[in-house]
């Protein structure tokens, strides 16, 4: 883990509180499974309604998880009262996202005053076999005074 400046001692509670207001992620069944400075993991179990026509998790599901994990990784480093918004991202879909669950790992690469660069990786799991299914580069904006 890199040495990051933590601007809010209650960063874990802030992530949990904000995530609880994420109606889209909650509707999908996603949950936060790891929070540390500059790091957040989000997991999602397979269920009906998340697949595309071939039975894999839809690319939009993988992308949503990567974006959210990266955004919350950035959010862990922001001061109380500030929110986070996605500004730009590029995602590569590496393998079909099939299996029992997905886990997105968001990691801060370079924090900044207003823009924070993050990486988001998504892994699928089936019978304890891990497959890297997506990787992305994300630019997150610190939204002053917009903490949910």
Write out pLDDT tens, residues 113-122.
Answer: 999 999 999 9
CATH of the domain at 106: 3.10.129.10
Instruction: Supply the Cα-derived Rg of the chain in whole angstroms.
Output: 15
Q: Is 73 within the bounds of a domain?
A: yes
Please report whether residue 5 resides in a domain.
no
Element (H, E) at 69: helix 59-75
State the residue range of the domain holding 62.
Answer: 11-143
CB 87 within 8 A of CB 71: no
Q: pLDDT tens digit string along 82-97?
A: 999 999 999 999 999 9
Question: What pLDDT is recorded for position 141?
Answer: 98
* Structural domains counted in the chain: 1
The structure's pTM equals: 0.96
């Amino acid at each position: 883990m890199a040495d990051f400046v933590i601007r809010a001692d209650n960063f874990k509670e802030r992530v949990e509180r904000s995530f609880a207001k994420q109606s889209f992620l909650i509707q999908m069944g996603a949950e936060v499974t790891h929070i540390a400075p500059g790091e957040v993991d989000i997991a999602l179990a397979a269920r009906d309604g998340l697949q595309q026509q071939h039975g894999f998790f839809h690319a939009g599901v993988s992308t949503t998880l990567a974006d959210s994990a990266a955004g919350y990784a950035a959010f862990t480093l922001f001061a109380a009262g500030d929110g986070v918004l996605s500004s730009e991202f590029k995602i590569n879909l590496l393998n079909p996202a099939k299996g029992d669950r997905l886990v997105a790992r968001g990691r801060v690469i370079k924090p900044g005053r207003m823009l924070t660069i993050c990486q988001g990786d998504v892994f699928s799991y089936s019978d304890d076999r891990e497959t890297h299914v997506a990787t992305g580069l994300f630019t997150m904006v610190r939204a002053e005074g917009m903490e949910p």
